[in-house]
Structure 1
Amino acid sequence: MNSESISSSLPKKDRDIVAADTDALSSESLSGTTSVWKLLLVAAVPVVTVLTCGARAPWALATLALLVGTCILLMPPIGRIPLKVWVLPALALLLSLTFALPVVGELPDWRQALQRDFQIDTGNLHSPQPWTSSEKWILVTLVLVWMAFVISRGFADGERRIILRAMVVGLTAIAALAVWIKLRNVAGPSFWARDNLEPFQYGPFPNRNHFSGMCAVTGILAFVCTYDSFRRRHFGWVLFAICLAICFAALMLNTSRFGVVMFFAGCGGWMLTATLRSQSAHKMALFSSLFLIGTTFLLIFGQRIIQRFIGEGDVVATLASDGRLSLFGRVLKLIPEAPWMGWGIGNFDPIFNMLDGAPNTIYRASHPENDLLWFAAESGVPAALCMVLGIIVLAIQFGPWRPRNEKHNRRDRRLRNAAAISALAIVAQSLVDIPLHMLGLAVLFATLAGLGYNPHSLLPQPSSRRWLHVPAALFCFAAAILWISVARLTPLMPTDTYARQLYRGSTQMMIENRNAEALELINGAAIIRPLHWEIYFQRASIKLALGYSPQEALPDFARSRALEKYLTRFVAAEAQIWAIHHPPFAMAAYGEAIRRDRSSSQNYFYSAMEIARLHPELRSDARAMALKDPKLHLIFTLLSDGEEFSRELQALLTEHPELAIYNKAERLSLFQAWHAKADRSKLVRALQDKPAWLADGWSVLATDHALQGDFQSACKIAFDHLDPPFATSPPGNLSVDELNRLYLGNPTDIARGLQLYETLKLHDRIDEALQVLEELALLPSVPNKVIYEKALILNQKKEYAKSWETLQTYMNKISAS
């Protein structure tokens, strides 16, 4: 029986599958047959990059370059990419290379100021950090070369299926590893990036949103592979369903909202494209089921994500609340500073934070939360425009919107659409985040974009151009050799990665007290990355540890302040270093910290006053610092004694005679110190004459009466100003004997004891009522009501001294609470 008769005996749906498989096999002639191990090698590139390149270790970068170069050599392109597709990204890449051009005319003012005032050499090239820009440019080129390879290889449907399935399994394994590490609360691999500011962050990337994007894309692909395998009657659909469940669980544990949106939007978009030509209702039913199942799991296990969705308003309110819209606006204001060629690729972080006019004393904007703005700021508006147009032209080659006269089968579109939609999901995420600046996600995007590209759009490859893949492979191998040399600390060229290694090595040397070697390493880092404040801060610290004079270390601290104008924590750390090595400079550092962060000024001033206490000769510096802020002057006054206190008190009252600038607690602290350290009679008269002062300082006046033995007046002032505690419930209809019997049965029942007290007081049995209160007062965690009522009864019995003593206990409790 021949194949045609066998096919005709099958149901129509199975005949369609057999026919589609036949078409798929015939379509593989487009690229020829490729060995499975080679296809797995292609899938390994994004998986290995995601796994290892989070922290951009040089060995990981070398591995990526070797993999890309090997793939290009083993699988030469079979088609030529049309000019309209590659010319715009190539032009953007060329424009971003302008960082290596010399500056025409004068340097920008900020670069002149750094060179003139702080001796920070930024050279005369367009990029103030050309070695950093060079390595970043190599990385961008490597990603684009990889995408060009995947596109020009023209993978057929069967090959594409193997690659996507392998990617799903590999990326899901990474997600499962991250979930296990998170749930077990153990340390992840050392090459995974870390951000201590992220409370729920986990995975190989420094930010939860990046890992969420990876899980969402993997979930979309797992969903498509599950559907595809099920339609093909392949048992592998069970494996991919498990992968889908793992990715969704990782999304819920991550708490990133955009990842959840990416996942559902991507799956829905793929189902929509799958039904554009098939009129298939069961596909939409499948997606509806997936949506309902996912929503159910989200409601049960994803409370943190739901809270983030409903607790912050709409999308605009969310972007505004986390500072994105403000950051976008600030970046757009600074792009005109260098609109044509940008600041040089790789220079956003130091330059933006130096020029930005919106201070943030806690957080530093290391990126603009938008890939396009980042690229425009560093490479210029023309380069960014070329890149955007290039992505649009590339996207046109995706999906079901291609011309209707294509002869390839629907299953080919099914897998291509999945890859294309996943790539576009990453592009969508780049509008509110920076996935394309994360090497793992950038390579993943390039792979998916290449697999989503319509291979029938490729042009024939002339025999005279079939050697062009060799230079591309050689470029990759050269980059790999460069990063291998960096990993061995013998770089063929100074790179940003090498400077980071030097900085980390210097930090380790400091821990091991090998400061001379640490200084040598940090000097090398400063040459490569002259705009990074932390390098100069660390170098100054090392110099002081080596015994350099304060004047030799001070310029490096000044450089770190000039490069980072707003962060406060490192200035406070500088003050602590100076407190050990040269206390006079610590006062100036604390003064700078107070200038930067007024909200924490009192904490910094207390630290400065501690230094002044240990070094009395610096007290005048502390006073000069205090006179700039009334709140600090109050602290300085409170920490003074004797004649100094009286002098500062007089100066403070002269400047603020009504003390209106201070709050209630601050005025009370001043009155208490005044009563203890200066003329009490003057304070008493002032409290009696000024009702506003008495409202805050009545306790001081009452204490003064008590010290003079006038406990009756002290108690009267206290009862006039104290707020009574909560009122107890009415005694009820029970008799005294019944209440007493119930109370004696459970003497720790405070509510019952208070009820008995109220009843006894109602019957004017004051002595018995007082005895109940005294018994209750001995219980642990006694409520304030008991102490207050005890003081009140003692006052009624005219035992004023005991009443005042009890009132002091009551006031101490309420002030502590």
Structure 2
Amino acid sequence: MTSHGAGDGTAEERPRPLVLRLADTLVIALFFAPVALAALPMGANRDWAWAPIAVAIGLVAVLVALGFGAGKGFEVGENERRPLLVLIGCYVVFVAFVLLQGASFAPASGSAWLYAAALRILGRAHAAVPDIAIDVARNGLLKCITCGLIFMMARAICKERGHARMLLVLVVASATLVVTYALIMQVTTHSCYVGGYLKKQGTYDPQGQCLMSGTFVNSNSFACYAGMGMVAAMALIFAGRRRGPAAGFDGHDLQTFEALLTGSRVVLLALAFFLLGGLLLSASRAGFAAGMAGALALALLLMRGRWRERPDLVRWFLVGAAIVLVVGAIAGSALLAKAVRAEESGTRIIIWLTALDAIALSPWLGWGLGGFADIYTILQPASVVQPNDLAHSTPLETVVELGVLAAVPAFIVVLLPWGVSLRGAFRREYRHRVLPAAAFAISAVAILHSMVDFSLQIPAIGFVVSALLGMGWAQAFSRGRPMQAAAAA
């Protein structure tokens, strides 16, 4: 596995020495390992878990910047230049604004009265700054920088289709490990433990039941990750390993049932249903909806322009949809039981309304990255007894913490690569369509789920989504010629 394949270029290149090729392979492995394994230590949602991963990613980024593993991945094509400049500009603005929020020379904001109250009560206080939790903001910024490094390395490394496909394989493998662990914990502790961590208040009751969450602390993030793995398995089924003629497989060929059911596809199909089972057992309504939306998006992108030409694929699509409905009806009892309980939804709406109040108090400079927990504690309604440190909506929490204006470049940093992946899925020829479509659809699971939860704020999910968006960006642009429109429907 090396990043120095022939690619789409026509010029002959001198092969790299064996030692350098081995170094490339090692660096690529060091990049993939922390991204794929981040979900295992409690979703990397503790300082002791994500901090070492961030350090490892930083060290690997230095090696990649020195030329190991990336090959020609850092080359920028004409079509790519402008969106990449916009992306880098928005990211720089985001980082600069977060630093400004913690600076004493920042303009007065909604937090000024808090620092004045602290001075009056304690006799001394820190200089008034927009950020009300500077230490938390520092940690959040480090996570964001780690995601940025992962994106840039994935963009360089995953220009090779083999590396891009390897990323999908690792996502499936990682999700499978997480769901397997969830089943073990379900049998042994009724899902009330993650390692030695008790997920419920009080003592452990052998007769008690907790929602399945695997290596994650909460079932919703677990459902999101299982859904991402399921969509990745579907993408690999479509991608296959077929080696066609020079023109490649264009999606027009009719294939028999026997030709489709290769050994690898059967394994991937089994894993997809295994991950679907974990998704259903998590009882996460939003996770299930986001997973189904990602799967549907992938199927529609790959079927675009093929509905009349490929009746065999249409039949497979309908059969797959029917199987999912049957499995959902049989195994979705926990999901349905949770759906009829409205208490959680009512509390979440109160949290969102409180977040809007926080935005109104400091609309332009926000409360600082990671400051939602503190401002919510101050504004928490008396009707809500349980403490809460997250808005259960990543876009809404972003506006609370960064303010209305600075939230825009933060959104662009995520949505622009997502849109580029979608554009690649639309405009690349069929044989090059699967990978950007997979990047868009798998990322869609986490992005859509984060509209009503906080999946993207879980480091393990954020790291994987960053890698997928980098891969989708790389695969959306052709190295040898401009992107070509797919055959018209």
TM-score (norm 1): 0.48
Mapped partners of 1:285, 1:230: distance in 2? 22
Q: Does residue 1:256 correspond to 2:289, yes or no? A: no
Shift in Å, 1:319: 9.5
Which deviations, in whole Å up to 9, do the C-alpha atoms of 1:721-744 show, x marking residues without a partner?
xxxxxxxxxxxxxxxxxxxxxxxx
Alignment correspondent of 1:124: 128
- 8 Å contact kept, 2:101–2:130: yes
Cα deviation, 1:123-182, whole Å, max 9, x if unaligned, reads: 433323322322221121111221122124452222211221122112211221122112
Q: Distance in 2 between the 1:291 and 1:28 partners?
A: 40
CA spacing shift, 1:119–1:93, aligned 2, 3 Å: same
Amino acid at match of 2:69: M
- 1:598 corresponds in structure 2 to none
Matched residue, 2:359: 335
Instruction: Find the aligned partners of 1:42 and 1:228 in 2 and give their Cα distance.
Output: 23
Q: Does 1:410 align with 2:430?
A: yes
C-alpha deviation, 1:110, in angstroms: 2.9
Kindly provide the CA deviation profile for residues 546-589 of structure 1, in whole angstroms up to 9, marking residues without a partner as x: xxxxxxxxxxxxxxxxxxxxxxxxxxxxxxxxxxxxxxxxxxxx
The one-letter code matched in structure 2 to 1:300 is: I
Is the 1:39–1:162 contact (alpha carbons within 8 Å) kept by the matching residues of 2? no
**Distance (Å, rounded) in 1 between the aligned partners of 2:290 and 2:182:** 20
Q: Distance in 1 between matches of 2:439 and 2:6?
A: 20
Q: Which residue of 2 aligns with 1:215?
A: 226
Partner of 2:59: 69
Aligned match for 1:382, one of 383, 405, 408: 405
Matches within 5 A, 1:552-563: none
AA partner of residue 75 (structure 2): G
Query: Is the 8 Å Cα contact of residues 57 and 191 (structure 1) preserved in structure 2?
Result: no
Q: Distance in 2 between matches of 1:193 and 1:276?
A: 47
Partner residue in 1 for 2:143: 139
- Asked if the contact 1:99–1:133 (Cα under 8 Å) also holds between the matched residues in 2, the reply is no
Residue in structure 2 matched with residue 763 of structure 1 by the alignment: none
Letter in 1 for 2:376: F
Residue type matched to 2:38 in 1? T
Q: Which amino acid aligns with 1:165?
A: V
| Aligned mates of 2:182, 2:89 — CA distance in 1 | 39
Say whether the 8 Å CA contact 1:88–1:386 is kept in structure 2: yes
Q: Is 1:300 aligned to residue 330 of structure 2?
A: yes
Question: Are 1:114 and 2:118 matched, yes or no?
Answer: yes
**1:367 and 2:390 equivalent?**
yes
Displacement of 1:195 after TM fit?
5.4
2:255 is matched with none
Find out whether 1:396 has 2:396 as its counterpart: no
Q: Does the 8 Å contact 1:217/1:262 carry over to 2? A: no
Q: Does structure 2 retain, via aligned residues, the 8 Å contact 1:229–1:237?
A: yes
| Contact 1:429–1:435 (8 Å) recurs in 2 | yes
Give the Cα separation in 2 of the matches to 1:270 and 1:206: 28
Q: Secondary structure at the match of 1:369?
A: coil
Q: For 2:32, which of 13, 26, 43 is the aligned residue?
A: 43
Is the 1:38–1:71 contact (alpha carbons within 8 Å) kept by the matching residues of 2? no
Shift of 1:369: 0.9
| From 419, 443, 463, the counterpart of 1:443 | 463
Distance change (3 Å), C-alpha of 1:60 and 1:266: closer
**Offset of 1:98 from its aligned partner?**
1.6
Contact kept? 1:143, 1:446, Cα under 8 Å: yes
Shift of 1:45: 2.7
Cα distance change, pair 120–377 in 1 and its aligned pair in 2 (3 A): farther
Question: How far off is 1:361 after superposition?
Answer: 5.0
| Partner SS for 2:118 | helix
Distance 1:28 1:332, change over 3 A: farther
Residues 63 and 231 (structure 1), Cα distance of their counterparts in 2 relative to 1, 3 Å cut: same
Q: SS of 2:231's equivalent?
A: helix
Per-residue CA distance 1:644-676 (angstroms, 9 max, x = gap)? xxxxxxxxxxxxxxxxxxxxxxxxxxxxxxxxx
Match of 1:224 among 232, 235, 243: 235
Q: Could you report, residue by residue, the CA deviation over 1:14-46 in whole angstroms, capped at 9, with x for unpaired residues? A: xxxxxxxxxx97448899998665544433232
Query: Shift of the alpha carbon at 1:412?
Result: 2.3
For residues 665-713 of structure 1, give each alpha carbon's deviation from its aligned partner in whole angstroms, at most 9, with x where no partner exists: xxxxxxxxxxxxxxxxxxxxxxxxxxxxxxxxxxxxxxxxxxxxxxxxx
SS in 2 for 1:380: helix
Higher alpha-carbon deviation: 97-106 or 445-454: 97-106
- In structure 2, relative to structure 1, the CA distance for the partners of 1:320 and 1:416 (3 Å cut) is same
Q: CA deviation at 1:452?
A: 1.4
Alpha-carbon distance in structure 2 between the residues aligned to 1:193 and 1:101:
39
Q: Which residue of 2 aligns with 1:275?
A: 303
Paired residues for 1:347-366 under 5 Å: 347-356=371-380, 358-360=381-383, 362-366=385-389
Query: Does residue 1:168 correspond to 2:172, yes or no?
Result: yes
After superposition, residues 159-198 of structure 1 pair within 5 angstroms as 159-185=163-189, 188=193, 190=195, 194=199, 196=201
Tell me if structure 1 keeps the 8 A contact 2:359–2:399: yes
Q: Which has the higher contact order (CA 8 A, sep 6+)?
A: 2
Paired with 2:196 and 2:467, the residues of 1 have a C-alpha distance of 22
Looking at structure 2, the residues matched to 36 and 26 of structure 1 have their Cα atoms a distance apart, in angstroms, of 17
Root-mean-square deviation (Å): 3.3
| Residues 459 and 382 of structure 1: CA distance in aligned 2, closer, same or farther (over 3 Å) | farther
Query: d(CA) in 2 for partners of 1:372 and 1:226?
Result: 33
Q: Quick one: distance in 2 between partners of 1:191 and 1:266?
A: 33
Structure 1 stretches lacking a partner, 5+ long: 1-23, 313-317, 461-817
- Cα offsets for 1:372-395 (capped at 9, x unmatched): 111121122222111223333323
Identity %: 16
Output one character per residue of 1:222-276: Cα deviation in whole Å (capped at 9) or x when no partner.
Answer: 1221343386775322332232122112112111112222222222211111121
Residue 204 in structure 1 maps to residue 215 in structure 2: yes
In the superposition, relative to structure 1, how do residues 202 and 321 fare at CA in structure 2: closer, same or farther (>3 Å)?
A: closer
Whether the aligned pair in 2 keeps the contact of 1:172 and 1:247 (CA below 8 Å) is: yes
SS at structure 2 position matched to 1:327 = helix
Check the 8 A contact 1:78/1:152 in 2, yes or no.
yes
CA shift in 2, pair 1:122/1:165, >3 Å: same
Bigger helix share: 1
- In structure 2, the partner of 1:535 is none
For 2:331 and 2:322, the matched residues in 1 are separated by: 14
Taking the TM superposition and a 5 Å limit, the aligned residue runs for 1:2-81 are: 26-27=7-8, 38-52=27-41, 53-58=43-48, 60-70=50-60, 73=63, 74-76=68-70, 77-80=73-76
Cα separation, partners in 2 of 1:146 and 1:255, compared to 1, 3 Å: same
**1:216 Cα offset (Å):** 0.5
User: CA–CA distance in 2 between the matches of 1:445 and 1:96?
Assistant: 22
Residue 441 of structure 1 deviates from its aligned partner by 0.9
Contact 1:262 1:425 in 2 (8 A): yes
Question: How many corresponding residue pairs?
Answer: 427
User: Which blocks of at least 5 consecutive residues in structure 2 are unaligned?
Assistant: 203-208, 244-258, 481-489
Query: Among residues 84, 99, 102, which one is paired with 1:100 in the alignment?
Result: 102
Q: Confirm whether residue 265 of structure 1 aligns to residue 267 of structure 2.
A: no
AA in 1 matched with 2:439 = A
> Distance in 1 between the 2:197 and 2:26 partners?
27
User: C-alpha deviations, 1:190-234, integer Å up to 9, x for none?
Assistant: 487945499314223232111100000101111221343386775
Aligned mates of 1:157, 1:240 — CA distance in 2: 19
1:590-739 alignment runs, 5 A limit: none
2:230 and 2:344 map into 1 onto residues whose CA distance is 29
Contact 1:151 1:453 (C-alpha < 8 Å) held by counterparts: yes
- C-alpha distance 70-330 of structure 1, shift in aligned 2 (>3 A): same
